[in-house]
């Protein structure tokens, strides 16, 4: 990435009424403005331009961290608080532009090119003299800002409060996920997504705030708010439960999470680069779903060569039989399934280690005979959880972790699934980063469960292939979730526009058999989830017996299915109603749709944007007479595609 100064750009940056500074995207479609208000301090707003109109995405919103610094005196340490939300004076600005090209190992678009304009506004606290840079970025698909304390110091500084807000205002549609209460298993971003008017408070029985990302529809425009560029120097944030007038203010992690260990305010030495807060914005949902802005704002690949990172399908026995991961025979049966289907991986879930002291060695040796590579489950605790699932106390300390990873590499293990983090505190963010770095050193892929949400880490650590942070298919199997079969279709058709838009999602889809809680989705809907939902390693949740019993066309689809994509396009959809995506891998296009409502739908899809579109098709579709209906034929038109979905149904068309 290269940042260049440009006098011409300085002249091109407009200063419209009400704003002291302004920055527009390279195509002038998106704009972020900043002003210094006497009463409110620093504020910003975001605008969308197009077709001669301007839409206000965010009204004037507060900015500014409150930083406690420490200085030595003749007595004990004394604390100075620099309040950058009010007592600041402007000291200068620097503008520039840049272009970033990079390749992802897995994702919805592997080859990426991002052009942007940049503006840094420098301030200092009028009382303490501490410096603050407000860095702005404007891309053709979104806008971002972050705080940087640029001075040098080996002392630690704390952010005691953050005033950052996102003033959506009233009258907008809002899709949000309640931020969990602190319990033995939460927060873990596994609550159900809600659709409410903007400004709605988090229901008191569902959570203590709103999680990132948050999706809004305002004045015909779409807005997805999130954060990226998060590392061990900061905590993961969310939004407060109360949003008076549609003004959503940033919130820190819950104090009681991680069993109360660690602070819920961030601290670091200087210079201190804090996370980017950003909004993907557009007149249509495709601009949000297809965006990789979270990766544009994240640090480049830190592990070098990624040839060893291979996306793929994994068999997984736990979802259909929770006790299978303690049973050597059941795990071998799951490995057999992966071998039969030509899948690259199989996952050995919690408590595999209690089978025998040499259980790992036995399973790896068996899998090698079948040309299948294995993932092994680990508890992330540690003091931050008291969940007894095994193995635990091997991951939270670096020396133990690296010794375990060295053992895994020597055996030829492919990767690890690490579970039960239950906190966004800075200490836990540091643990995530440490796991990713050490796993990369030993060429191990990583799947985080019971975890925080993706924040662009997959660009920095390409060995991060997927993360849970979703109310996934496992909820079908919990007795208390007796209504999950009714909720799932609507939730499924919300996720592509919100949670899965910002990073990989280990929903563990494709449950063709009938789970404990029942299932109202069709077989074609379940098949479509494997394309509609993106995950670098896609874990098939159904049993080996169910997969083996599938008809030939379904098996052929599952055998050839890729999990990393050269292109992704949203063809149709609306959150909670339906979603149709087209993804390309090499010379093959996968067009898949899901219906989130209990009424049949007919669709006319514009497929003219799909380049290199072949002719031969395999179609998996709904049919009341056949639960696994399919057909093969030729593509009738490269302009329009007409398809139908049953109530809670779906389809998959493979074109090659």
Condensed to tens digits (0 to 9), the pLDDT of residues 13-64 reads: 444 447 899 999 999 999 999 999 887 789 999 999 998 999 999 999 999 9
- Determine the pLDDT at residue 11: 34
The β-bridge partners of 602 are 644
pLDDT digits (tens, 9 = 90+) for 456-468: 999 999 999 999 9
In sign, the C-alpha dihedral spanning 215, 219, 221, 227 is negative
Count the Cβ atoms, other than its own, within 10 Å of residue 347. 28
pLDDT in tens, 85-112: 887 999 999 999 999 999 999 999 999 9
User: Residue 480's pLDDT is what?
Assistant: 66
Tally of CB atoms within 10 A around 633:
10
> Are 557 and 620 in contact, with CB atoms under 8 Å apart?
yes
Residue 190 to residue 181: CA distance in whole angstroms? 11
Query: What integer pLDDT is reported at residue 348 of this predicted model?
Result: 98
Q: What is the pLDDT of residues 142-188, one digit of tens each?
A: 999 999 999 999 888 999 999 999 999 999 999 999 999 999 999 99
CATH dotted code for 301-469:
3.20.20.70
Got the DSSP string for 566-624? SEEEEEEEETTTEEEEEEEETTEEEEEEEE-SSS-EEEEEE-TT-TT--SEEEEEE--T
Buried b (16+ CB within 10 A) or exposed e, 167-176: bbbeebebbb
The C-alpha atoms of residue 42 and residue 63 are separated, in whole angstroms, by 5
CATH ID of 2-296, from 1.10.3720.10, 1.10.287.130, 2.70.98.10, 3.40.50.800: 2.70.98.10
In the chain, where the domains are located: 2-296, 301-469
Chain-centre distance for alpha carbon 388: 27
Using 50, 70 and 90 to split pLDDT, how confident is the model at 233?
Answer: very high
Quick one: angle between helices 398-411 and 426-441, nearest 10?
30
- DSSP letter, residue 502: G
The per-residue DSSP string of 222-249 comes to EEEEEEE---TTS---EEES--GGGEEE
Strand pairing category for 601-606 and 567-574: unpaired
Q: Which position has the higher pLDDT, 3 or 457?
A: 457
């Amino acid at each position: 990435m290269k940042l260049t100064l440009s006098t011409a750009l300085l002249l091109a940056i407009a200063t419209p009424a009400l704003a002291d500074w302004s920055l527009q995207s390279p195509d002038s479609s998106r704009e972020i403005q900043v002003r210094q208000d006497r009463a409110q301090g620093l504020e910003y707003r975001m605008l969308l331009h197009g077709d001669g109109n301007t839409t206000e995405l965010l009204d004037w919103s507060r900015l500014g961290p409150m930083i406690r610094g420490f200085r030595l005196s003749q007595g004990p340490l004394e604390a100075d608080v620099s309040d950058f939300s009010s007592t600041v004076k402007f000291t200068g600005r620097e503008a520039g532009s840049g272009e970033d090209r990079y390749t992802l190992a897995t994702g919805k678009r592997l080859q990426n090119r991002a052009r942007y304009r940049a503006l840094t506004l420098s301030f200092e606290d009028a009382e303490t003299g501490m410096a603050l840079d407000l860095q702005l970025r404007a891309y053709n698909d979104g806008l971002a800002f972050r705080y940087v304390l640029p001075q040098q110091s080996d002392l630690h500084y704390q952010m005691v409060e953050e005033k950052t807000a996102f003033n959506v205002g009233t009258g907008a549609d809002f899709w949000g996920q309640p931020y969990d209460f602190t319990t033995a298993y939460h927060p873990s971003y596994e609550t159900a997504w809600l659709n409410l008017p903007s400004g709605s408070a988090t229901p008191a029985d569902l959570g203590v705030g709103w999680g990132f990302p948050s999706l809004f529809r305002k004045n015909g425009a779409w807005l997805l708010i999130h954060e990226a560029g998060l590392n061990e120097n900061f905590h993961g944030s969310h939004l407060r439960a109360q949003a008076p007038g549609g003004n959503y203010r940033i919130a820190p992690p819950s104090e009681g999470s991680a069993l109360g260990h660690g602070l819920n305010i961030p601290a670091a030495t200087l210079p201190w680069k804090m996370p980017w807060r950003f909004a993907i914005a557009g007149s249509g949902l495709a601009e949000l779903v297809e965006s990789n802005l979270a990766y544009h704002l994240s640090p480049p690949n830190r592990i070098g060569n990624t040839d060893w990172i291979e996306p793929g399908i994994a068999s997984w026995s736990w979802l259909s039989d929770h006790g299978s991961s303690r049973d050597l025979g059941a795990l071998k049966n799951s490995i057999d399934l992966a071998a039969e289907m030509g899948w690259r991986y199989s996952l050995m879930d919690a408590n595999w280690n209690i089978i025998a002291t040499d259980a790992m060695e036995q399973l790896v040796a068996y899998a090698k005979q079948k040309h299948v590579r294995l993932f092994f489950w680990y508890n992330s605790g540690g003091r931050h959880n008291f969940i007894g699932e095994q193995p635990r106390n091997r991951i939270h300390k670096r020396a133990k972790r690296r010794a375990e990873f060295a053992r895994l590499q020597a055996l030829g293990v492919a990767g690890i699934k690490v579970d039960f983090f239950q906190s966004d505190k800075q200490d836990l963010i540091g643990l995530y980063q440490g796991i990713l770095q050490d796993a990369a050193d030993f060429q191990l892929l990583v799947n985080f469960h019971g975890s925080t949400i993706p924040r662009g880490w997959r660009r920095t650590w390409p060995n991060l292939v997927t993360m849970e942070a979703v109310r996934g298919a496992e909820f079908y199997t919990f007795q208390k979730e007796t209504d999950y079969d009714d909720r799932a279709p609507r939730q499924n058709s919300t996720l592509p526009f919100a949670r899965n838009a910002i990073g990989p999602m280990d929903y563990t889809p494709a449950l063709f058999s009938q789970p404990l809680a029942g299932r109202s989705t069709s077989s074609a809907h379940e098949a479509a989830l494997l394309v509609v939902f993106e995950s670098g390693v896609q874990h098939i949740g159904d049993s080996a017996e169910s997969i083996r019993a599938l008809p030939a066309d379904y098996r052929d689809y599952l055998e050839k299915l890729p999990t990393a994509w050269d292109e992704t396009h949203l063809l149709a959809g609306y959150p909670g109603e339906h979603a149709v995506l087209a993804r390309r891998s090499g010379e093959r296009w996968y067009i898949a749709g899901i219906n989130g409502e209990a009424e049949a739908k007919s669709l006319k899809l514009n497929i003219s944007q799909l380049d290199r579109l072949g002719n031969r098709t395999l179609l998996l579709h709904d049919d009341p007479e056949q639960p696994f209906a399919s057909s093969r034929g030729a593509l009738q038109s490269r302009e329009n595609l007409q398809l139908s979905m049953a109530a809670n149904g779906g389809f998959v068309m493979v074109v090659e």
